[in-house]
Structure 1
Amino acid sequence: MREIDDIVHYLAVESVVAAELGKPQSPVSDVWEKLETIDSMRRKLGDSQLGALRKRLSDAIDGSSHSREDAELLRKVVSAITQQTGGASLRRVMAEITFERLQLPDLDLDPTGRTVPDSRYFNSALVPLAEVAYDHDPVGRTLLWNGACRLFPGAGRPERLRSAMFSLPKDSGLTSAMDFYLAVDALKLDEPVTDEMVEDMRRKADGS
């Protein structure tokens, strides 16, 4: 019970971090750790206990000072990982939520993290990921970043994703797709695209 009390207090009070005007944001490292604890804890609880935990966490988030966007996302994640003992893991849940929000129907990604999208796919997602994270405060961006890292595993990618999703202040005045493209392009985050990738793209285009 003490552990649950600590998690509830953390998610409702301690994790509330407002974005500073005109400044890049930083991840809130402990929020992911607390959610992982809930994810692990649910396997030891029955349905009624899970329901009580879900309600307590949701009520705490509703009464918190999180921004509307962060509270909505946090509530959705908490609800998903307290539905049932054998449900999807936190990492899978967050990957799927992030992918849904990308709204890129032509991007075929594996939310299990078992496959590694090549650099063409990675580069094409940087701008949409920055857009998805833009209206969020640090907690919301942290959750979406962890989801993006699951979708795009690979050496050096967490840092590139972090730059894309945390570097743009909420008050940057970005509104159009071109605004986001130019802002992310200035960060120089693209991975090199090899000749083999280009040739593969051509073969697929010819085949279609």
Structure 2
Amino acid sequence: MVSGPGSTSIANNNGKMKPNGALSGVSSVVYVIDDDESIRFVLNGLVRSVGLHVETFESPKDFLAFPKYDVPSCLILDVRLRGESGLAFQQEARRCGVRIPILFITAHGDIEMTVKAMKAGALDFFAKPFRDQDMLDAIAHALKRDAERRESEHALSTLRDSYESLTQREREVMKFVVAGMLNKQIAYELNLSEITVKIHRGQVMKKMGSRSLPDLVRKAEALGTDQKQSGSN
């Protein structure tokens, strides 16, 4: 695998590159894919000049083979690569589960190409030569965007785990609670005593980490359980 100048990875016993984030304290990383060694060198120096970690690659294949850091990241991608299209790789990366923000660079950019890249989800587009500060500003924005995405996904994952911890009966009670029904109404619907419903309701609130009904409703909406449950009736 080819990695550009300044890469701070280490090799394991099999020779496969392995990120050493735990050793170097990497909090975010900028990936660069460009078949021009001089551009990789320039971007490597620019990114490192502001204290950010950078990994550079000559081809998309090398990038995909590299174990990714589990930290906020972004990708600087050349539109025209040797024998490959950066725009085509943008789609391939999405299919491979790479969801980090992409900043395109090109020496041959035009309006049509820019529009196509942005519509496909690119965060920004730079024509070579670009201003260093413009690129650094875009990188900072991209890393912030990815950090927010990761935080949101983590929160949703935690919420899903909480919902999965509910028993089937507790989920039934939760469905009626978020619909605004009173304990006695829920008890009637489920053929339970009001005391039993109250106990289940308390367990739902505890397991879901909700201190109020509006908070539980918001969480149900985030999970999509309100639509699923109402649609099943």
Q: TM-score, normalised by structure 2?
A: 0.26
- The structure where helix makes up a greater share of residues is 1
Name which structure has the greater RCO, CA cutoff 8 Å, separation 6+.
1
Larger radius of gyration: 2
Q: TM-score, normalised by structure 1?
A: 0.28
